[in-house]
Chains A and B, each alone.
Chain A
C-alpha cells in the first residue's frame, strides 16, 4: 500500500488537445494524414487515442492552395518523469495517378512543455533512395521509399544514414494543461520559480499575519 501511495505522489498529468489544422504541399492535390504519439517508458495514455487517421482532403481552388484538415486531437498522459516527453508524429499520404497511396511526408514535434496554446508548423520530409539504382527502380515501380515504422522520426539515433527531401508543411495547434508539475518541484515557466529573496523579505510579514489567520 505504501508503494502505491508514494507512486501516486510522484505522478503528474499532461492533457493535450487541439487539431491538425491545415497542410501545405505545393506539388500535390490530395492529402490525408495519420498521426501517432511517441513517448517514453514512464509515460501512459490515460484517455484519448494514441493514433488516428484523417479524412482525404483536396487542395482549395483559390490563392491559398491549402488543405484544410481540421482534425481533432484530444489525449491525456500521465508520467513520473518528464524524460520521454510525448512527441506528435504526423505522416501525410497522397494518391498517385493509379490511385495508390504514396507517402508525402513525415513530420515530428514535441508536445510543448509549457501550458497554453501553441501553433506548430511541422516541416514534412520524405526519405530518398540511397542509390541511383534504387532511385531508378522506385521510379519504374512508381513506389517511393518509406519508413517501415514512422516512429523512427521521433528518435535521435540512427538518423545519420537517412537522406530526405522536405516538400511541405503541416500546421498543428495544441492546447497544453498540466497537473501537479509544480507540486513535484518542476518549473516549466519563469514565473514558476519562486524567488528566495522575495520569500525572505516576505517572511516577517507572514509571521505577523500568521497568528491572525
Chain B
C-alpha cells in the first residue's frame, strides 16, 4: 500500500469581522484511505490578537495515511467560530480544501463562507447575533446539494502543509 504523511499546521485566520476566533477542523477521505496514526479532527485554541487582524492558532497536524486507491484524496474542512465576551459561540465560516497531491511544503489560504439566511434572519442576527448554520455538515466538503444555498464571503484560514508520499511511484502513480 502507498502511504502518505501529512505534516503541518493550521496557522491561523485573517479577514474575519471580529477577533476571538477558533476553528473546528476535520479530515475527510475516501473509502480506500485509512488513517494509521494521528488525529483526524480537532479544535484549535481561541486567539484574540493584541496588535493585528490575524488569529494565531499554530495547531499541529501530523497524519499518516495508507491507501489502496487515489479516489477520495483527503480533504480538510474547517468551521471557524467566534467566541464573544459572554462566552457564546457564533458560526463565522465554513471552508474546505484538498490536501495537495504533490509532495513538499505548501502554503495555503482557504477562503471561507457562511450561510446568508433570509432578510429577517439577517436583521435578527444584527441585533442578537447567531445566524443560520448548516444542518448537515457534509455540505462543507461535498458539491452535491449546494445549489439552494445562499452564502456570504468571510475571511481566510491559513495553512502550511507538508506532504510526504511513500511508494507512489512504485505503483506507477505520478504526483
Q: B-side interface residues toward A, CB under 8 Å? A: 5, 7-9, 11-12, 20, 22, 36-39, 42-51, 54-56, 58-64, 83, 102-105, 162, 164-170, 172, 174-175
Question: A155 to B60, alpha carbons, bound, how many Å?
Answer: 6
- Picked from B7, B9, B12, B169, the residue with its CB within 8 Å of the CB of A82 is B7
Task: Report whether A188 and B7 are in contact in the complex, using a CB–CB cutoff of 8 Å.
Answer: no
Residues of A within 8 A of B172 (CB): 196
CB contact between A186 and one of B54, B55, B62, B165 (< 8 Å): that residue: B165
Let me know if A117 is at the binding interface, CB within 8 A: no
What is the bound-complex CA distance between A85 and B62, given in angstroms? 8
B105 close to A113 (CB less than 8 A): yes
* Size range of the chain A interface in the assembly: 35 or more
The 10 closest A-B pairs by CB, nearest first: A123-B56, A160-B43, A113-B162, A166-B56, A167-B50, A196-B172, A83-B64, A166-B49, A163-B46, A162-B45
> Pick the contact of B51 from A113, A164, A167 — CB < 8 Å?
A167
User: When A162-B46, A186-B165 are in contact, do A110 and B60 touch as well, CB less than 8 Å?
Assistant: yes
Q: Which residue of chain A has the shortest Cβ distance to B51 in the bound complex?
A: A26
Contacts known (A160-B22, A185-B167); A123 close to B54, Cβ less than 8 A: yes
Q: A87 near B104 (CB under 8 angstroms)?
A: no
Q: What's the Cα separation between A167 and B105 when bound, in Å?
A: 26
In the complex, number of A-B residue pairs with CB atoms less than 8 Å apart: 143
**Residues on A with beta carbons closer than 8 Å to the beta carbon of B20:** 163
0/1 per residue, A132-156, Cβ < 8 Å to B?
0000000000000000000001111
Q: Which residues of B contact A118 (CB under 8 A)?
A: 105
Partner of B56, one of A125, A157, A188: A125
**Residue ranges of A at the interface with B (Cβ–Cβ < 8 Å):** 26-27, 40, 81-85, 87, 107-110, 112-114, 118, 122-125, 128, 153-157, 159-160, 162-167, 184-190, 192-197
**Contact: A125 with B45, CB < 8 Å?**
yes
Q: Determine how close the nearest CB of chain A comes to the CB of B127; give it in whole angstroms.
A: 25
Name the residue of chain B whose CB is nearest to the CB of A153: B58
Distance, CA A192 to CA B8, complexed state (A): 20
Q: A108–B45 Cα gap in the complex (Å)? A: 13
